[in-house]
Structure 1
Amino acid sequence: MGVAEKTVGEVLIELLEVYGVDTVFGIPGVHTAELYRGLATSSIRHITPRHEQGAGFMADGYARVTGKPGVALVITGPGLTNTITAMAQAYQDSIPMLVISGVNSRGSLGHGRGCLHELPDQRATMATVSHMTHTLLDPADLPSVLERAFIILQSRRPGPVHIEIPTDVMDSKIAIEVPDPIKTFGPRASVSQVAALAEKCRQSQAPVILCGGGSISSAEQIKMLAEKLDAPLVTTVNARGMFVGHPLSVPASPSLQPVRGLLANADLVIALGTQMGATDYDMYADGGFPELGNLVRVDIDADQLARGPAASLQILSTVDQLLTDLLPMVGGLSGRRGGAERADRCRRGALESLSPKMHLEIKVLEGIRDALPGCILVGDSTQAIYSGNLYFEAGQPKGWFNAATGYGALGYGPPAAIGACLGAPEKPVVCIVGDGGFQFSLAEIGSAKDCGANVIFLVWNNDGYGEIKTYMEDSGIVPEGVTPSAPDFLKIAEAYGVPAVRLDDVVDLPEALRRLAGEGGPSLIEIHETRTRGAGV
C-alpha cells in the first residue's frame, strides 16, 4: 500500500481495516476523540454502548460468533477500568479481544500530578487481564505494534490484548508504509507425537473425546475421528452444538457423575482445546473429577498444558493441524467399540441426575432452540443457564455461550447478545438473563435499539438472585441481600420503544418468539418463575 501522511488516529483506523475489522464498540471522549478522526469515513461501523463494560462484552459476543477479534475503543482511566471485567471474562474463556485505549500525555506518565483520568500505572493495571499490553510512545511504531497484537490474537491461545495511546501521540503526523497483514500459524505437533497418539487410538477399546471451545472450528474432522474410533463426544459449555443429533454426542457437563463415570471407564481420553477448568469439570467444587490414566491433551497454549490434570501425552498444537496430521495416520481404523451405546447411557444418566426444576428449565431452552432454528442463545448467570450448562444440546456450533463459566460476570448477557447479533445478523439471538443480572446492564436495551439488533431479551424473573438464595439455603445460611427489587421490565422496554410481552403460560413462548423475531429489532419477553404457569415446580 502507499505511503500514508496522516495522524496516528487516522492510520490506526486504516490499519484496523487492513486487518479485517468491520465493527468497533466504544464511547468516545476527550481522551480518544483523535482516534475517531478517520472513523466516520472508513468502512468500520461504530457501536455505542451505554457503559464501557458493555463495549467489552459486545466485543466478546461478536468475537464468539465470528471468530475474529472483537475491538473496543475506550478512554483512559475509568473507561478502561470499566472494561476490565469484560476483559477478564474474555481472558478466562479464551476469546480474542483488542482493547485500544487512551492514556495521558507521555510527559505526565508516572508523575502522579493529578491529571484527569490518571491511574498510577495504567499499563501495569492491564497486564493481569491481557496477553499483551503496550504503550505507544513512538508514533512510528504503530504498524509494528498492531501487527504484534494481531499475531498474538491469531496464533496462540486467544484472549484480550491492550494498546494504549498517549493523548499527545494521537494527533502526531506520521508518514509510513502501511503493511499488508502477515499470515500467522499456530503450533504444530511433531511427527513422533502424532504417531504416538495414532498408536493409542489403534490400541484403544473404550475411547472418549472431550471437546472444548478451542475445537469448534474442527467439528467435521473431530466427527471423522470419533466415527473411526466409535468414541463418545463430550462437549463442554463453549463447545455445545458441535455434533447436533449425532449418536455419539454427549452434551453434558463433566461435573456430572455419569459423565465422570464415562471418562473414568475409558481407556483413552483425548481432550481437544479445553482448559479442563473448574467451571466445566468441577462446577460443584466437590473435587470428584476422576484421575484419568490415559489422558491425551491437545492445546494451543503450552502454559495451559502444564496446568490441570496430568496427561500421559501432551501435544502443543492447534486442533485443526493436529487432526489434519492424525487422521491419515489412523487410516482406515474402524470397528464397534460400543460408542453409541456408551453415549446413550451417559446422556440418560446425566439427565436423570438433574432435579425436576432443572428438567423444566432445560425444556424451555429446547423450546427456544426449536422455535427459532439456527438461533444463538446467549446467557447471563441465571438459573436456567446453569441448568443448560449441565445438559443442553445447542442447535449449532457457537449457538450457546454465557457468563456462567470462567470469570462469571453478571450483566454479560445483554451486551454480549448485541455483539453476537452484529456478528451474525442473519441469525435470531435470544438473551436469557435474570431479573437481577439484567439490572447490571439494563440500559443496553437502548444500544440494541440504536443499532437495530435483532435480539430477544428473555427475562427469567425469580424476584432476585435466585441461584444465590438457593445456595445459601442449601448451605444452612439465612438468605440475606438476595432480593433486590426490579423495575417493570415491560415499561422499561416501552420507554425505549421496544416491544415486550409478559407470558401467562410457558406454552405461549414459541409463538411469542417467532412473532417477535419476525418483527426485527430488539424485543423483550418476561417469564416469571411463580406467576407464569409452567415456569416453576
Structure 2
Amino acid sequence: MKDQSTLTCAELLIRLLRDTYGVDTLFGIPGVHTVELYRGLEDSGVVHVTPRHEQGAGFMADGYARASGKPGVCLIITGPGMTNIATAMGQALADSIPMLVISSVNRRDTLGMKQGRLHELPSQQQMISGVARFSHTLLDADTLPAVLARAFAVFGGTRPGPVHIEIPIDLFNAPVTVPSGWQAPTLYRAAPDPQGLIEAARLLQAAKRPLLLLGGGCVSAPQAARALVERLDAPAVTTINAKGLLGRDHPLDLGANAALPAVRTLAAEADVILAIGTELGETDYDVVFDDGFHLSGTLIRIDIDPEQLVRNQATTLGLVGDAGRSLALLLAHFPEPLKRDGAGRTRAALDALDLANDPAFSPFVALYKTLADVLPEAILVGDSTAPVYAGNHLVSQPAPRRYFNASTGFGTLGFGLPAALGAQLARPDLPVVALVGDGGVMFTLSELATAVEARLPVVIVLWHNAGYEEIRRYMDASGVARLGVDIQAPDFLLLADGFGCPGVRVDSPGTLATALTRRDPAAPLLVEIDAGAWQAVCATEASEKGSS
C-alpha cells in the first residue's frame, strides 16, 4: 500500500480499518462497483476471504465476531449484494453481534433518481436500516474517519450489532488527505450507578432462594461471572450464547434449560433474580413457545441497553451498564462467599430434568460425548437442526465463545457452515465443528468451496433425516398435511468430492469417533450421519445397557 500523505477514499478506508481498528480479515465478493476497494488491498497484509454468496459473507463475519470478540467486516456490492446479506445482518442484529458492512452505492448524482442504473435500489440505505444499528451514506470522503469512529463506538461502547456504511462509487477515487495522528479513541463501557449497585447487593444479600440469569452480554467477563455466582452460591441459567461462561459442568450451572419444567419451577420460586446481559427472550426462556416462564420474585436487571430493562419481564430494579463491568463491580460487594445450598438446588433441578434419558435429547447424548472425547476444545457452530436443538440443552463447554448457533433470535437456516468457517479464521488454534442438517445446509452448501480454497479444517457434521423434521412434527401436531417438508436430498458425499472436500458417511458413535480421529487436520471434512441408522444403534446400545 502506498505511503503518500494523500490517498483515495477507498485506500484510506483499508488503511483505517487495518491500522486504527486492527481489522485483519475481510469477507467479500468483488464486483464492478467495488473494484476500487481492492486497489492496494493485496499489499495491505489484510486477509481477504471470498465466499460464494453474500449471505455466506455475512454469516462468516458473524462467526468470526462470535469466536473472536472482534467485529467481522464485509465488503459488499450495491443492490443484490445488500439484499443477499440482509438475512445475515438480521441474525447478527438479533444476537447483538458486531458486524461492519461496507458497501458501494450508485453515484451521488443518481441516488433516488430511479434511472435503471446497474444494481440500483430506490433507497439502499432505507432498505438496510431495519437490520442495522445504523446505516450511513457517505457523501463527503473527508468524513470517512468520523463515520468509522461512530461505527466502532457502537461495537465497543453500547449494545453491538451490524453497522452499514455505503460509499457512492464516484467517491472511491476521491482524494483524501490522511488525517495526521488519527487514532481510535479509548472508550470505557458504561458502569451502573453506584447507589443502584448498593441496592442490588442488599437485595441479593438478603435473598433466601436467589437465581442468576446470565446472557450473551456476559461472555467477555467469564472470571467475574464465575466468581459472582460462587460468592452468591446461587444457581445460574447460562443462555445459549453464554454457554461455557462458568466452565464445563460447573456445579451451579443450570445451562440453557430455562424452558424446561424443573428450571421453570426453580425460577418461579426464586425470591430474588439477577439477570445480566440477557433479553429474557423467547428463544432462550420459552423454546416450547407457551409463555410459561414466569418470575414472581424481585427482578434485578443489568443491561447496556436501557430499553431492554423493561422488556419481557417486570423489572423491580434496573441498572444501565456493561455486563462485564457490572459483574466485576457487583462482585466487590461480596468479599466473602454466602452459603445457600446453590449446588444442591442446581443438582436437584438437573436430576429432575434427567436430560440424558429424555426421548427428545437422548439420541444426541452419544454425539456430543463423542465430540467432547475426540475434540474437547472444539468450537461448536450450529444451524437450525435437530442435533443443535438438543445440544442447546445437553452441551457444556470449557469456555465462552465456543458454542453458538442460529436457533436463537432470528433463527435463519444456512448459518452453520459459513459461520463455522468464520470461527475457524478467528481461532485457527482450535478445532471447529459445524453442526448442520440436510435441509438447512442446502442454503449455503456452496461455501464448501470456500472451506477447500482457504484450507479451513472445519469438520462439517451433517445430520441427514431426509427433510425438515421439526416442521414435519409441527405439521403433524397441528393436523396439517405434510407438504414441502419431505424434500429430496442430493448425494452429499458426491457433492463434497466435487468441491474437493473429503467426506465419510457414519451411522454410530464408534464410526464417528474413527472419522474424527483419522481426519486431515489441515483440510475440511464432511461427516454425514444417517439419522435413522444412528438412532437405531443408540437405542440398541441403551437397551443393552439397561438390561445388563
User: How high is the sequence identity, in percent, across the aligned residues?
Assistant: 45
Root-mean-square deviation (Å): 1.5
CA displacement at 1:198 relative to structure 2 = 1.1
2:81 corresponds to: 79
CA displacement at 1:336 relative to structure 2 = 2.2
- Helix, strand or coil for the counterpart of 1:329? coil
| Corresponding position: 1:175 with 2:184 | no
1:464 corresponds to: 467
Query: Comparing 217-226 with 134-143, which one deviates more in the overlay?
Result: 217-226
1:25 corresponds to: 27
2:394 corresponds to: 391
Alignment match of 1:305 (pick from 298, 309, 315): 309
Could you tell me whether the CA contact under 8 Å between 1:237 and 1:253 is conserved in 2? no
- Rounded to whole Å, the distance in 1 between the matches of 2:369 and 2:283 is 22
Letter in 1 for 2:120: E
Alignment match of 2:326 (pick from 314, 322, 332): 322
| Corresponding position: 1:344 with 2:347 | yes
Mapping 1:286-305, distance limit 5 Å: 286-305=290-309
- Helix, strand or coil for the counterpart of 2:450? helix
Alignment length, in residue pairs?
Answer: 534
- Rounded to whole Å, the distance in 1 between the matches of 2:144 and 2:242 is 36
Query: Comparing 349-358 with 306-315, which one deviates more in the overlay?
Result: 349-358
CA displacement at 1:535 relative to structure 2 = 6.1
- Rounded to whole Å, the distance in 1 between the matches of 2:74 and 2:285 is 31
Cα 1:329–1:418, aligned 2, differ >3 Å: closer, same or farther? Answer: same
1:13 corresponds to: 14
CA displacement at 1:245 relative to structure 2 = 2.4
| Corresponding position: 1:274 with 2:278 | yes
Alignment match of 2:225 (pick from 199, 202, 222): 222
1:162 corresponds to: 164
2:415 corresponds to: 412
CA displacement at 1:3 relative to structure 2 = 7.2
- Rounded to whole Å, the distance in 1 between the matches of 2:220 and 2:365 is 26
Letter in 2 for 1:257: P
Query: Where does the alignment leave 5 or more consecutive residues of structure 1 unmatched?
Result: none
- Rounded to whole Å, the distance in 1 between the matches of 2:507 and 2:213 is 40
Could you tell me whether the CA contact under 8 Å between 1:201 and 1:330 is conserved in 2? no
Cα 1:59–1:532, aligned 2, differ >3 Å: closer, same or farther? Answer: same
- Helix, strand or coil for the counterpart of 1:337? coil
1:184 corresponds to: 187
1:510 corresponds to: 513
CA displacement at 1:31 relative to structure 2 = 0.7
Could you tell me whether the CA contact under 8 Å between 2:278 and 2:303 is conserved in 1? yes
| Corresponding position: 1:359 with 2:359 | no
Could you tell me whether the CA contact under 8 Å between 1:376 and 1:400 is conserved in 2? yes
CA displacement at 1:532 relative to structure 2 = 3.9
Could you tell me whether the CA contact under 8 Å between 1:252 and 1:350 is conserved in 2? no
Query: Where does the alignment leave 5 or more consecutive residues of structure 2 unmatched?
Result: 540-548
- Rounded to whole Å, the distance in 2 between the matches of 1:369 and 1:158 is 31
Alignment match of 1:133 (pick from 132, 135, 150): 135
CA deviation vs aligned residue, 1:369-428 (integer Å, no higher than 9, x gap) = 222011011000001111112332124311111001110110000000000000000111
Cα 1:85–1:95, aligned 2, differ >3 Å: closer, same or farther? Answer: same
- Rounded to whole Å, the distance in 1 between the matches of 2:468 and 2:183 is 50
- Helix, strand or coil for the counterpart of 2:43? coil
CA deviation vs aligned residue, 1:345-364 (integer Å, no higher than 9, x gap) = 11122335974241121331
2:5 corresponds to: 4
Could you tell me whether the CA contact under 8 Å between 1:298 and 1:319 is conserved in 2? yes
- Rounded to whole Å, the distance in 1 between the matches of 2:124 and 2:510 is 51
- Rounded to whole Å, the distance in 2 between the matches of 1:514 and 1:34 is 45
2:546 corresponds to: none
CA deviation vs aligned residue, 1:65-84 (integer Å, no higher than 9, x gap) = 10000001100100011000
Could you tell me whether the CA contact under 8 Å between 2:355 and 2:361 is conserved in 1? no
2:124 corresponds to: 122
Letter in 1 for 2:330: L
- Helix, strand or coil for the counterpart of 1:356? coil
- Rounded to whole Å, the distance in 2 between the matches of 1:29 and 1:73 is 10
- Helix, strand or coil for the counterpart of 2:259? coil
- Rounded to whole Å, the distance in 1 between the matches of 2:335 and 2:308 is 30
Letter in 1 for 2:47: R
Could you tell me whether the CA contact under 8 Å between 2:73 and 2:100 is conserved in 1? yes
- Rounded to whole Å, the distance in 2 between the matches of 1:452 and 1:28 is 20
- Helix, strand or coil for the counterpart of 2:237? strand
- Rounded to whole Å, the distance in 1 between the matches of 2:243 and 2:535 is 29
- Rounded to whole Å, the distance in 1 between the matches of 2:538 and 2:169 is 54
Mapping 1:456-495, distance limit 5 Å: 456-495=459-498
- Rounded to whole Å, the distance in 1 between the matches of 2:418 and 2:143 is 33
Letter in 1 for 2:43: T
- Rounded to whole Å, the distance in 2 between the matches of 1:353 and 1:523 is 28
CA displacement at 1:197 relative to structure 2 = 0.9
- Rounded to whole Å, the distance in 2 between the matches of 1:22 and 1:160 is 18
- Rounded to whole Å, the distance in 2 between the matches of 1:217 and 1:522 is 29
CA displacement at 1:344 relative to structure 2 = 0.5
- Helix, strand or coil for the counterpart of 1:331? coil
Letter in 1 for 2:531: E
- Rounded to whole Å, the distance in 2 between the matches of 1:422 and 1:431 is 13
Could you tell me whether the CA contact under 8 Å between 1:12 and 1:142 is conserved in 2? yes
Q: Structure 2-normalised TM-score? A: 0.95
Letter in 1 for 2:427: A
Could you tell me whether the CA contact under 8 Å between 1:506 and 1:534 is conserved in 2? no
- Helix, strand or coil for the counterpart of 2:333? helix
- Rounded to whole Å, the distance in 2 between the matches of 1:533 and 1:90 is 33
- Rounded to whole Å, the distance in 2 between the matches of 1:184 and 1:464 is 48
- Helix, strand or coil for the counterpart of 2:219? helix
CA displacement at 1:324 relative to structure 2 = 2.4
CA displacement at 1:331 relative to structure 2 = 2.4
